[in-house]
């Protein structure tokens, strides 16, 4: 039966039953559970970072800030790691530069390229953000136990490393 068809009461009941089964199955999908957990902590981390003195921070900034290397990173490298276009990353970099989180400098290996690096404010942000994330990871460990959390984290790391090697 196709959604929205009008084959009488029996058809609607079958359609409702099929949808109920699918909706129930959806609740148990691991991918959905991971996404819900990620959404919860993304929002919680963002609020805590803003409350810690970085009111101009938005979650999209993590595409740049959490994909930088020590010594700076090229725009193309940041974009690859963030899995977005160089144009999208360029917009975030300009915003972060205007807010004082990052700076640009010439790449000594290629004068045409630029390296994006943290400023002092960016480093302060990173220290605060890492502390908040660590605190929230401890919360999760308290829910299921430290050993179980360590095992879960390692198993998820293995999966991520397999499906997204640039994420490391």
Mean pLDDT value across residues 72-85? 94
Residue 168 has a pLDDT of 59
Neighbours of 131 (CB within 10 A): 13
Residue 61 has a pLDDT of 95
Q: What are phi and psi of 148, to 5 degrees?
A: -60, -40
CA dihedral sign of residues 60, 96, 55, 143: positive
DSSP bridge pairs for 118: 102
Residue 1 has a pLDDT of 44
Residue 155 confidence (pLDDT) above 90: yes
Residue 49 has a pLDDT of 97
Burial of 52 (0-12, 13-18, 19+ CB in 10 A): middle
Measured in whole angstroms, how far is the alpha carbon of residue 21 from the centre of its chain?
Answer: 30
pLDDT in tens, 21-71: 777 777 778 888 899 999 999 999 999 999 999 999 999 999 999 999 999
Residue 9 confidence (pLDDT) above 80: no
Confirm if 15 and 1 have CB atoms less than 8 A apart: yes
**Encoded tokens for 36:** 């819900």
Mean pLDDT value across residues 86-93? 95
DSSP bridge pairs for 104: 116
pLDDT in tens, 104-140: 999 888 888 899 999 999 999 999 999 999 999 999 9
71: which DSSP letter? T
**How far apart (Å, rounded) are the C-alpha atoms in residues 95 and 100?**
9
In which band, very low, low, confident or very high, does the pLDDT at 12 lie, cut at 50, 70 and 90?
Answer: low
Q: What are phi and psi of 68, to 5 degrees?
A: -90, 150
**How far apart (Å, rounded) are the C-alpha atoms in residues 85 and 11?**
46
Residue 64 has a pLDDT of 96
Residue 16 has a pLDDT of 80
């Amino acid at each position: 039966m196709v959604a929205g068809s009008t084959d009488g009461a029996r058809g609607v009941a079958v359609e409702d039953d099929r949808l109920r089964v699918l909706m129930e199955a959806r609740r148990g999908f691991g991918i959905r559970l991971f996404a819900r957990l990620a959404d919860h902590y993304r929002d919680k981390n963002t609020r805590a970072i803003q409350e810690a003195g970085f009111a101009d921070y938005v979650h999209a900034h993590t595409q740049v800030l959490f994909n930088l290397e020590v010594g700076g990173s090229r725009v193309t490298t940041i974009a690859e790691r963030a899995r977005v276009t160089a144009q999208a990353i360029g917009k975030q970099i300009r915003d972060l530069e205007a807010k004082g989180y990052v700076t640009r400098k010439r790449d000594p290996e290629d004068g045409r390229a630029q390296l994006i690096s943290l400023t002092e404010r960016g480093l302060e942000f990173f220290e605060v953000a890492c502390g908040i994330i660590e605190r929230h990871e401890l919360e999760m460990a308290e829910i299921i136990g430290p050993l179980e959390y360590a095992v879960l984290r390692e198993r998820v790391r293995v999966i991520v490393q397999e499906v997204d090697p640039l994420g490391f």
